[in-house]
Structure 1
Amino acid sequence: MERRTPDSSQMIAQQSLIRGLENPAVYEHGVTELRVIETHASWVILTGAWVYKIKKAVNFGFLDYSTLEKRRSSCQEELRLNRRFAPHVYIDVIAIAGTFEQPSLQASGEPIEYAVRMKQFPQSGLLSTLAAQHTLTEEHVDALAALVPVMHAAVSIADKHTEYGLPDDIHHWVLENFDHIRPALRKPQQCQQLDTLERWCRQEFGNRRMLIEQRRCDGFVRECHGDLHLGNLAIIEGEITPFDGLEFNPQLRWIDVISEVAFLIMDIHDRGYPRLSCRLLNTWLQHTGDYSGLALLRYYLVYRALVRAKVAILRQAQARSTLDEQDAWYEYASYMELASRYVEPPLPVLIITHGVSGSGKSFYASRLAERLGAIQVRSDLERKRLHGYPAGADTQSGIRTGLYSAAASERTYEQLALLARTVIKAGYPVIIDATFLQAARREQFRLLSETLAVPFVLLHFEADRDTLYARIQSRQAAGEDPSEAGIKVLEAQLVAQESLMPDEMADVISVEFSTDVSTDMIGQIVDQIIDKQRAMSHTGAGDVVDS
């Protein structure tokens, strides 16, 4: 791989230019602040109302800004790509004239450099800032999980005859990270860790190559953002807005959508929010139904952690102080540790819920999924998806009619079994969130767990009638839940449900609904599930997301 060091004369000239642009008199508009943010590939100049982004004359192999023409072209491409997601932020590309020491943004002479001009937004709105301030919330993550499918639905899809998304090309960029990182390492332990990850990546690619190609043919490779992490997402005018998409290498943005989502999951996890990273994954899956992509997720999680580790290495090489260098090494170690954790999957388990509508199944299942690193599959959503309805649709189905007829219910449970198998084979614990009021349904999934050779857990939910009625009425009034079960459905369920049999009780964990759900309560359920995993696997404790 060709990788050249920056042209020292160009870099010196650019550094003079940046100093020149720190003079407020250069700008024809008012300047209320003047601050320069430097990254490994660019300088970003904040002036209060406007932002100017200038690309460094560097060539890292995967990124080449080494000539003025390449920087101009990249600026134009950055404008085009980011206007897809933030048209009100990205304004134009301007030519900078004059001299490096005394630049002009208005002169019409020979350009000495180019800049992307953007409207400035408050840095306090960056999701990375919210994460650092411990104010990133479930609401932010849910909004992100809803936004990403909308983004991906609006962008171009790679034709299967194009060069984008080919398995060997994807794997090339995974391995390219090792080529960048290895020469900078100083300690034997670092080299051993890197070698272990490289062996895993090569083996995992071999196992998943056919699926990568199949998803390319099925339209999952799209012209994505390419660099979607919390530092490139901001709340602007009340809406989460992506910016700073990847423009410098089309192969790195024409990617499988699951690769883009993996970047977000990894970044949220790395910033200290493992439960929210699981919530993002589950909510995105519930929006898209893309459970087949789970088999590639771990590969892409490791890849994305390696990308950020590589960027830390590049920052370390450009560090201007010992403190900056130490920070870069700390960041590198953090990403490498996370990548190493991703290659060790959690112990598998097949969990089903049992209980009438309003007993708290979905509420608890989502919290447990976040703690276990499990995938929650909701029957209400999958039932509608099978029949072509959006999650919030009112299908006007009655008791045992429409979507709830015997045939539709049979088809729904078959789909749930298929998804359970898909999730387990991808290496994740799964929670099938359905009523399972019939003993035959429960037995179907117990037998499935035997076929898959994974532990089986039956979470039994119960609540008194007053609580059930109140929760159903509250849910219907809110109008935000995919379940269509009303009071009449609840009453029918209470009559028709088949009680747990004595031979089922060994698999049962009972949960009594409470409006005051504590962390300890969820933790106790998690501990019981882990005990069942241990009993079957004999390999030690399960990999709980956090405790």
Structure 2
Amino acid sequence: MNSNIPPAVAADRTLVTALREHLQADTGQPVALVETHISWVLLTPALAYKLKKPITLGFVDFRTLAARRHFCEEEVRLNRRLAPSLYVGVVPVCGTTHRPRLGEGEPIDFAVCMRRFPEEALLSRLLPAGRLQAGQLEQFAQRLALFHDEAQVAAPESSFGGPDQAGRPGVDALARLRAIGARCPSDLQGWVFEQRRALRTAWLARQRNGAVRECHGDLHLANLVAVDGRLTAFDCLEFEPALRWIDVMSDVAFLTMDLKAHGRSDLAFRFLDAYLQHSGDYAGVPVLRFYEVYRALVRALVCRLRARAGGDAPPPGEPDYLGCAAGLARDAQRTPRLMITHGLSGSGKSTTAAALLAAAGAIRVRSDVERKRLFGLGIRQRSAEHHAEIYTQDATRRTFARLAECARTALQAGWPVIVDAAFLRRDERLAFRALAAELCVPFSILHCRAAEAQLRRRVSARDAEGSDASEATEAVLERQLATHEPLGQDECALALEVATDMPVDIASLCARWLARAR
């Protein structure tokens, strides 16, 4: 046995070995043992038992039985918020070190009991195998938005999520990377330090406005699993409150970063788009990129520390997280740009915009969604069923003011923006053209068209299905046909026209948009 192992850990390694033998005898099946730096996990055919090592590493202290019980209970409490079906509970380990058993008696240790799932169901396995569907990520985004909405809010006077705590971890990760010999690009280091200063006001506002909550804290690809076809997050951070009492956008950024690091920026923006639609948290967009860079730096550090410790070999295809961090920082230098959509109901505006935002890496704001949000309605709730007058002139004025506010926030943070609305009135289009001019960003109009028969078929089918935010009916379409104000000659020069009766070449459309100057 390694002479460097502390006595308490050595004793519990004996306990774990004996418990493994007990479980093998009890189930009649092999029991696998997985070891991490802070825990042991015993895998039976149906269940997993995680025991915490009686160690202290600065950020964790599991040396006492009471501490291990507490953190086992915290792990179950916290993870049941997002994965109630996976976490069975805390199980006492009784008996002796050499003859342990699970169940009643005087506890000598505690274990978290989970339902076991196949490794192939992890998001980190689904993605490279090509078995992840964008719809699964969008569904998870909805669940995450609801989870964040219901999560406990940090007190404004607490240190959690404030300017000092929000900015420091990124700087610390850079320092630790340099200390172990990693070659961090100077422009990346400069960007992190500059953003730490520039975002202080934003972080303070986020903290005061309730964006800092008890989150998951560790939303990378290996901590999401498909359970009954739905993505479920597990293994959140229970041992250090400061790592989970964070800005909700830091939670989001971990997953968007990891998807980008694995070469799937398109899925990252599909997930982000769905999250923003369900949460409405466009005020968090300015801090998103910093959190993505921070998350990439931490993953880069973890990978290097694991390699130095001689741990398990990195999984095949593990990304270059340091390179990812540098790339994300460089993305901040891109020219932001504003696009509005234009077209009758059923012309394919939202479908095309969704594909375009994934290809271009853009933030989208949808009028159908934000209009309902102003009246407290969910995306798929119908206004008539709730007796909400959401299509009055005043409601429309408020809706477009909200769209402009969200667009302005994202543009000033350096993101390309697509405002997804019909924009059938010239004055509405001119207002956003003026916004682009004010912010000195390129302005484009995505003009979607289709044959009238196609419009009617799409509107009728969508209305019958009732699964989209749009409430347009055939009667609404008829009014639009009679009253809409076509693009003027000056606007046609700014338009990217697509016929959606046939498949749209999104790559070409994206290239045309991003190539446009002012």
TM-score, normalised by the number of residues in structure 2: 0.91
Q: Distance between the aligned counterparts of 1:492 and 1:420, measured in 2?
A: 28
Q: Distance between the aligned counterparts of 2:317 and 2:147, measured in 1?
A: 33
Say which of 40, 44, 49 aligns to 1:43: 40
Q: Identity of paired residues, percent?
A: 40
Matching of residues 458-537 of structure 1 within 5 Å? 458-517=445-504, 521-532=505-516, 535-536=517-518
How far residue 328 of structure 1 moved from its aligned partner, in angstroms, is 7.6
How far residue 356 of structure 1 moved from its aligned partner, in angstroms, is 0.7
RMSD between superposed Cα atoms in Å = 2.6
What secondary structure is seen at the aligned counterpart in 1 of 2:347? coil
- Worse-superposed segment, 278-287 or 27-36: 27-36
Q: Deviations over 1:450-490 (max 9, x none)?
A: 11111111111111111111111111121111111111111
What secondary structure is seen at the aligned counterpart in 1 of 2:199? helix
Whichever residue aligns with residue 128 of structure 1, its letter is S
What secondary structure is seen at the aligned counterpart in 1 of 2:378? coil
Q: Distance between the aligned counterparts of 2:511 and 2:75, measured in 1?
A: 49
Match of 1:160 in 2: 156
Q: Is the 8 A contact 1:316 1:329 kept in 2?
A: no
Q: Is the 8 A contact 1:97 1:108 kept in 2?
A: yes
Q: Is the 8 A contact 2:341 2:423 kept in 1?
A: yes
Match of 1:88 in 2: 85
Say which of 347, 353, 357 aligns to 1:369: 357
User: Structure 1's 33 and 234: CA in aligned 2 closer, same or farther, altered over 3 A?
Assistant: farther
How far residue 94 of structure 1 moved from its aligned partner, in angstroms, is 3.5
Match of 1:545 in 2: none
Q: Is the 8 A contact 1:7 1:66 kept in 2?
A: no
How far residue 372 of structure 1 moved from its aligned partner, in angstroms, is 0.5
How far residue 263 of structure 1 moved from its aligned partner, in angstroms, is 1.1
Match of 2:282 in 1: 291
How far residue 15 of structure 1 moved from its aligned partner, in angstroms, is 4.2
Q: Does 1:250 align with 2:246?
A: no
- Worse-superposed segment, 476-485 or 64-73: 64-73
How far residue 237 of structure 1 moved from its aligned partner, in angstroms, is 4.2
Q: Does 1:358 align with 2:365?
A: no
How far residue 234 of structure 1 moved from its aligned partner, in angstroms, is 2.2
Say which of 242, 247, 254 aligns to 1:263: 254
Q: Distance between the aligned counterparts of 1:453 and 1:273, measured in 2?
A: 30
Q: Distance between the aligned counterparts of 2:317 and 2:508, measured in 1?
A: 34
Whichever residue aligns with residue 36 of structure 2, its letter is T
Match of 2:302 in 1: 311
Q: Is the 8 A contact 1:312 1:328 kept in 2?
A: no
Q: Distance between the aligned counterparts of 1:419 and 1:220, measured in 2?
A: 16
Whichever residue aligns with residue 269 of structure 1, its letter is K
Matching of residues 375-394 of structure 1 within 5 Å? 375-394=363-382
Q: Distance between the aligned counterparts of 1:527 and 1:181, measured in 2?
A: 36
Q: Distance between the aligned counterparts of 1:7 and 1:166, measured in 2?
A: 38
Q: Distance between the aligned counterparts of 1:231 and 1:192, measured in 2?
A: 25
Q: Is the 8 A contact 2:184 2:322 kept in 1?
A: no
Q: Distance between the aligned counterparts of 2:60 and 2:300, measured in 1?
A: 16
Match of 1:542 in 2: none
Q: Does 1:445 align with 2:442?
A: no
How far residue 95 of structure 1 moved from its aligned partner, in angstroms, is 4.2
How far residue 402 of structure 1 moved from its aligned partner, in angstroms, is 3.8
Q: Distance between the aligned counterparts of 2:176 and 2:102, measured in 1?
A: 36
Return 5+ residue gaps in structure 1 as ranges: 1-5, 537-547
Q: Is the 8 A contact 2:90 2:112 kept in 1?
A: yes
Q: Is the 8 A contact 2:212 2:245 kept in 1?
A: yes
Match of 1:125 in 2: 121
Whichever residue aligns with residue 464 of structure 1, its letter is A
User: Structure 1's 107 and 396: CA in aligned 2 closer, same or farther, altered over 3 A?
Assistant: closer
What secondary structure is seen at the aligned counterpart in 2 of 1:471? helix
Q: Distance between the aligned counterparts of 1:181 and 1:54, measured in 2?
A: 30
User: Structure 1's 72 and 491: CA in aligned 2 closer, same or farther, altered over 3 A?
Assistant: same
What secondary structure is seen at the aligned counterpart in 1 of 2:34? strand
Whichever residue aligns with residue 491 of structure 1, its letter is E
TM-score, normalised by the number of residues in structure 1: 0.87
Q: Distance between the aligned counterparts of 2:327 and 2:470, measured in 1?
A: 36
Say which of 360, 379, 393 aligns to 1:406: 393
Q: Distance between the aligned counterparts of 1:7 and 1:72, measured in 2?
A: 22
Q: Is the 8 A contact 1:40 1:311 kept in 2?
A: no
Matching of residues 228-239 of structure 1 within 5 Å? 228-239=219-230
Match of 1:150 in 2: 146
Q: Does 1:191 align with 2:183?
A: yes
Say which of 111, 131, 138 aligns to 1:115: 111
User: Structure 1's 132 and 31: CA in aligned 2 closer, same or farther, altered over 3 A?
Assistant: farther
Whichever residue aligns with residue 48 of structure 1, its letter is P
Give the count of matched residue pairs: 511
How far residue 289 of structure 1 moved from its aligned partner, in angstroms, is 0.8
Q: Deviations over 1:269-323 (max 9, x none)?
A: 2233211110010110011111010000011111111222222123223325xxx
Whichever residue aligns with residue 174 of structure 2, its letter is F
How far residue 72 of structure 1 moved from its aligned partner, in angstroms, is 3.5
User: Structure 1's 91 and 329: CA in aligned 2 closer, same or farther, altered over 3 A?
Assistant: closer
Q: Is the 8 A contact 1:312 1:329 kept in 2?
A: no
How far residue 409 of structure 1 moved from its aligned partner, in angstroms, is 1.9
Q: Distance between the aligned counterparts of 2:103 and 2:353, measured in 1?
A: 59
Q: Distance between the aligned counterparts of 2:85 and 2:422, measured in 1?
A: 46
Whichever residue aligns with residue 384 of structure 2, its letter is Q
Match of 1:62 in 2: 59
Q: Distance between the aligned counterparts of 2:106 and 2:447, measured in 1?
A: 75
User: Structure 1's 311 and 57: CA in aligned 2 closer, same or farther, altered over 3 A?
Assistant: farther
Q: Is the 8 A contact 2:54 2:62 kept in 1?
A: yes
User: Structure 1's 83 and 459: CA in aligned 2 closer, same or farther, altered over 3 A?
Assistant: closer
Q: Distance between the aligned counterparts of 1:522 and 1:382, measured in 2?
A: 25
User: Structure 1's 48 and 531: CA in aligned 2 closer, same or farther, altered over 3 A?
Assistant: same
